[in-house]
Amino acid sequence: MPAIGAGNADIRSICGIVLNVIKSKVNHICSATCDGLVLRMHYRWTFFLLLGTFLTVWYSWYHREIITCVSHFNADAQVRLDYLNICLSYPFIVEKGEKRYLLFYRWIAWAFSFLASVYYIPRKVSKNLDNAKCKKLLEDLAANAHRYDQAERELVDRAAGYMIFNIKTHNGLYWKFLTVNIIALLVDIFAMQFLDFLLQGRFIQYGYNSYPFSRDPHNFTDYMSKTFPPFASCEIAKQHQLLSKRTEMFGCHLTIMELYEKLFLGLWVWIITLTFVTCCYIIFLFLMWLPYVQVYLLRVAKPVHASDKVRGVVHAVTQNCKIGDIYLLYRLKGHLSHVRFYELMVRLSDPNLCNKQIQQSGPNKQIQQSGPNKQIQQSGPGVMPENKQADILRQRQPNMPQNPPVNQEYLHQLLAGNPEMMGRHPQHPDNALHYAKKAQAFPANNQTR
């Protein structure tokens, strides 16, 4: 019979799009501080693996015959499509006198699609927890890691400047990275439990119980055939409201079961391996607290021109750094040559590194919070108290004098040559003398009258 719901999608174009996306992701440089190989195995490798299985199953469902059924009462009669739809959802096999319904047969493809989205969760979390400055530093180092000219020396100077200025401030970066890896482990555990629920409790031990993979093609009694039985029964009774109060039995061939058993075997092996690798990596992150592990992680080959022992230099660096700094240096090591990384270690091995960093940062700043507002106060030998600063600000005078001196002789010469200006400004000395003469003559005139 033709495939139910067959579509016209071009599988070649879909595969081409998927391959192009995979190639672009593979060539992408990983420079995120909260990212690593184990996380990429989750959100990139496993994501595309599940996406590929989804497309494979989806193509099989829409471009192949997915079920073939015959009636036990009349094998020559063609089975109706509505009967086949029920048989796709509720096929069963009889085990020890009990029916076990294969409810997963129809929904495997969408289960793979759901798991693919779940495995992308670590990537979203790591992007939100990333450190922008550290990421930019790793991007610059990764982009120029192939160069061996003066650019590498400049990158070492840049990395050393950043590490010296931000020493002992990267513990949060380490804990964020550890949290993301724990989330990835929880995703693996959830995937195991979800697939075990989907296969009715047969996935967790699927690969172990299937070994040594001896098949029984006659009676289908092996574990793989019992988990994905290629032949099943289907019963349509009066509860389905499609028959006139009678029950009809069908024998069905589930053609995609042969594909399911191979896909789930490979998926079981991959998830078990991924879970084991993630657990080992989390243990490794906890071991980074041990001093000898830190020395081992930062140890490099001794350059020819080096005068100090590498072990002594690395030990001095560990004394100046916290666990977050050790983690960041371990990430920087992957983008630098042994010689350049040794130069970086020598710069960070100074016993007075922390004191120099404090002197370069200038006077200390204390941040106090009173109520809803925050006030920033500076403390140092040359800084006045806040109350004295306020009084000085209120009593200070402007730099320019408010009443500048006036050159009287120049002003007299300027106004004497301008009669109109003299009339407008009677307070000028010449005008004042003129009005004084008038005032003296005014009483004499009154007396003569």
308: DSSP letter: S
Residue 293: predicted pLDDT: 92
User: N- to C-terminal Cα distance for the chain?
Assistant: 143
Residue 370: predicted pLDDT: 44
CA 189 distance to own-chain centroid:
21
User: Residue 286 has which token pair?
Assistant: 């906890």
- Tens-digit pLDDT string for the chain (449 aa): 444 444 445 666 766 776 676 666 555 556 678 888 999 999 999 999 999 999 889 888 877 788 888 887 777 777 888 888 888 889 999 988 889 999 999 899 999 999 999 999 999 999 898 888 888 888 888 887 777 667 778 888 888 888 988 888 899 999 999 999 999 999 999 999 999 999 999 999 999 998 888 888 888 888 999 999 999 999 887 776 666 667 888 889 998 999 999 999 999 999 999 999 999 999 999 999 999 999 999 988 888 877 788 888 999 999 989 999 999 999 998 888 888 889 899 889 887 776 666 555 554 444 444 444 444 444 444 444 555 544 544 555 555 555 556 566 655 665 665 555 555 555 555 555 555 555 555 454 444 44
C-alpha 172/C-alpha 323 separation (Å) is 10
Contact 39, 123 (CB under 8 A): yes
Q: What's at 434, amino acid-wise?
A: H
Residue 115: predicted pLDDT: 96
240: DSSP letter: G
Residue 338: predicted pLDDT: 87
User: Residue 306 has which token pair?
Assistant: 């080096």
At 364 the three-state DSSP class reads strand
Residue 424: predicted pLDDT: 55
